Structure 1
Amino acid sequence: MGFLAFLLLGLIAGSIAKLILPGRQNGGWFSTLILGVVGAMLGGWLGSVLFNAPLEEFFSIQTWLVAIGGSLIVLLIYGALVTSRRP
């Protein structure tokens, strides 16, 4: 998968993860892109280690599920860190 396709995958996976999680998450499209790309990388790594399901092709359902799952994990961690810093 190319670099631009990976960025697009991260942006869409991050957006879907934000839609799935309840509540109001702060940040715009750039933070969604960053968290989505980090989540896609985490999901690809976890998928390859645990299930032998790495990120392979852009139009593969396996790639999308792994990327969205990783983005959900990253958004949960990010939300826990941000809310714990607020007074």
Structure 2
Amino acid sequence: MGICTWLVLGGLAGWIASMIKGTNARMGLFANIATGIVGALIGGWIASHLGGAPVTGLNLYSLAVATGGAVLLITVLQALRK
């Protein structure tokens, strides 16, 4: 995947995850992108260990994996802050 694909997928996944977790008001564009990219790495790692495919490009499966990883990341960060 190219850098532009990572940025678009990361931005979308981070934004969707922040909407799910209710943190969208506190997160800006760069935080959404960073959360989505790290979420894609986490989600891809988990998916590959569960027998699924890792994040492969800009498609619905990759978006779902990246969003799931981003939701997990936000949840862990919220738990650490409390």
TM-score (norm 2): 0.84
- 1:26–1:11 CA distance, 2 compared to 1 (3 A): same
Residue by residue over 1:10-51, the C-alpha shift from the partner in whole angstroms, topping out at 9 and shown as x without a partner, is 111010011112466633221121111111111111111113
Shift of 1:63: 0.9
Contact 1:25 1:79 (8 Å CA) reproduced: no
The residue that corresponds to 1:17 in the other structure is 17
Aligned counterparts, 1:8-87, within 5 A = 8-22=8-22, 26-59=26-59, 61-82=60-81, 84=82
Unaligned runs of 5+ in 1: none
TM-score (norm 1): 0.80
CA RMSD of aligned residues (A): 1.8
Structure 1 residue runs of 4+, over 6 Å off? none
Unaligned runs of 5+ in 2: none
The one-letter amino acid paired with 1:68 is T
Larger Rg: 1
